[in-house]
Amino acid sequence: MRKYFLILGLGIILSFSPVQAAESVFKPLEQQLIRDGLSAELVKRVFADPRVRFLPQIMPRKLTWDETKLPYQQFLKPQRLARARAFLQDYAPLLREIENTYGVDKEILVGLLLVESDLGRHRGRYRIFNVLASMAVSADWQRVKPYLPPGLSPEEEARFREIMARRSRWAYRELRVLLKLSRKYGMDPLALKGSIFGAFGYPQFVPSSFREYAVDGNGDGRIDLYTLTDALASAANYLRAHGWRPGLSREEKKRVLMTYNHSEPYAETILKIAEYLRASPGRDSNTP
């Protein structure tokens, strides 16, 4: 999913080389991927690409991330809501078609896309391959520790180590999926850019979500989450698969949205955007 970055109380300035020993850092990861069944030719070719980077600077951001403190209120400002209303009107036929196909309210889809990528304006700046690979090797505490705030208590260090171990396992699984997708669809895994959480496209799918829920919305024979038709249809397909159906209560809608992002403020924001759009569908769509 797209995140709006806050560095929460790190109190340090991170200095690092963007080419920091990527080859040596990732060698055990390459070997593990091959042992787990991925093509050695594919793995070696991708990791030999000069675009591969180890990104230690993302680690403290992940450790200090707190969804409940993100400024979701920014999406409820008049300028953002005006853009959402204009989008709803400009793409009304497409949105109605997707709503009829998947049973997901068009206003919800607009709200979700507004929060995830500002209606496609923000694609993210990190190569998600590098993000996932860097996370996958972050279970090595000695590699992570130099990029964290100094003076951690034993309790904080134990908590951070557990978090990084868990995220390392998750990232490894997602990296494997990404490499498999690259072979299946002829994708360049290093061309995809997204968030520090390895999510990409307008709806900010991680690779496993792409594998399970992304759809070819415009029937052109390919899936491209950087096109509105595929992005909106894929988001709708995800929500339907997680229980969305016509007639849900507000609380039920919130529970489904929280499968997309496990954050109550996130889900509440999308619901408020949708409620605004339903209440003011006919206003002037000119954006400030």
Residues 49 and 77 in one domain: no
Residues 206 and 270 in one domain: yes
Residues 52 and 131 in one domain: yes
Mean of all residue pLDDT scores within the chain: 87
Which one, of 206, 60, 67, 59, lies nearest residue 136 by Cα? 59
CATH number for the domain including 114?
Answer: 1.10.530.10
* Burial tier of 152 (Cβ tally within 10 Å: 0-12, 13-18, 19+): middle
The residue assigned the tokens 């959480």 is 197
Please check the confidence at residue 17 and state whether its pLDDT lies above 50: no
What integer pLDDT is reported at residue 20 of this predicted model?
46
- Per-residue pLDDT tens for 102-140? 999 999 999 999 999 999 998 888 999 999 999 999 888
From 178, 194, 210, the end of a domain falls on 194
Residues 171 and 181 in one domain: yes
Give the pair of three-digit tokens for residue 204.
């900010």
Catalytic residue among 30, 107, 116, 174: 116
Q: Is 257 helix (H, G, I), strand (E, B) or coil?
A: helix
Residues 107 and 135 in one domain: no
Number of domains in the chain: 2
What integer pLDDT is reported at residue 62 of this predicted model?
62
- Per-residue pLDDT tens for 133-184? 999 998 888 877 787 778 889 998 888 888 888 989 999 999 999 999 999 9
11 — pLDDT class (breaks 50, 70, 90)? very low
CA distance 10 to 25: 25
116 noted as active-site residue: yes
Whether 104 is covered by a domain: the verdict is yes
Whether 10 is covered by a domain: the verdict is no
Residues 59 and 132 in one domain: yes
- Per-residue pLDDT tens for 210-245? 999 999 999 999 999 999 999 999 999 999 999 999
Residues 100 and 185 in one domain: no
Domain containing residue 185: 22-65+125-194
Residues 92 and 46 in one domain: no
- Give, rounded to a whole angstrom, the gap between the first and last alpha carbons of the chain: 27
This prediction's pTM: 0.86
